[in-house]
Amino acid sequence: MYREHILDHGMNPRHWGLLDPCDVDHEEHNITCGDRLRITLRIDHDGIIREVGWDGEGCAISQASASMLGEVILGKSVAEVGQITRDQIVAMLGIPLGINRLKCALLSLKTLIVGVAGEQHDEADEEADDNGTQERR
């Protein structure tokens, strides 16, 4: 059922292990199946992802997707990462996915996007504080 590259990434994950310290640290869960994924990133002053680390538990698809996504985003800007689509993740995996497996495959992208968006929000808050302004809610 699984292609060889999915099994390879599942058994030999790339970028496995959390980074400490890191600039982004975010965890998500797939409540449908119980998969869990935590992604950590180091981002330089130009907004380029210089290091990726992750850990998690779940099926071969969720774990392989995280490993493959780590390979894809290394060296890319935060802006480029924000443009990654679900179709790109599905194409990267290279197998047909039903609705439940699609959620497994997309867990890494969701974790990445929400984590990066949270970091950008935190930076905007800090910048506003540095400028003596208050955030409006």
Structure tokens at 43: 């981002």
Higher pLDDT, 76 or 13: 76
Side chain identity at residue 107, one-letter code: L
Q: Can you give the pLDDT at residue 122?
A: 53
Higher pLDDT, 120 or 133: 120
Note the pLDDT tens digit of each residue in 23-70: 999 999 988 889 999 999 999 999 999 999 999 999 889 999 999 999
State phi, psi for 32 to the nearest 5 degrees. Answer: -65, -40
Give the angle 79-85-88 at the CA atoms, nearest 5°: 115
| 36 three-state secondary structure | strand
Note the pLDDT tens digit of each residue in 58-111: 988 999 999 999 999 999 999 999 999 999 999 999 888 888 889 999 999 999
Q: Can you give the pLDDT at residue 137?
A: 30
* pLDDT > 80? residue 129: no
Level-2 CATH architecture, domain 4-128: Alpha-Beta Complex (3.90)
- Cβ pair 128, 120 in contact under 8 A: no
Q: Can you give the pLDDT at residue 125?
A: 47
| Across 2-6, 17-21, 28-32, least confident range | 2-6
Q: Can you give the pLDDT at residue 119?
A: 65
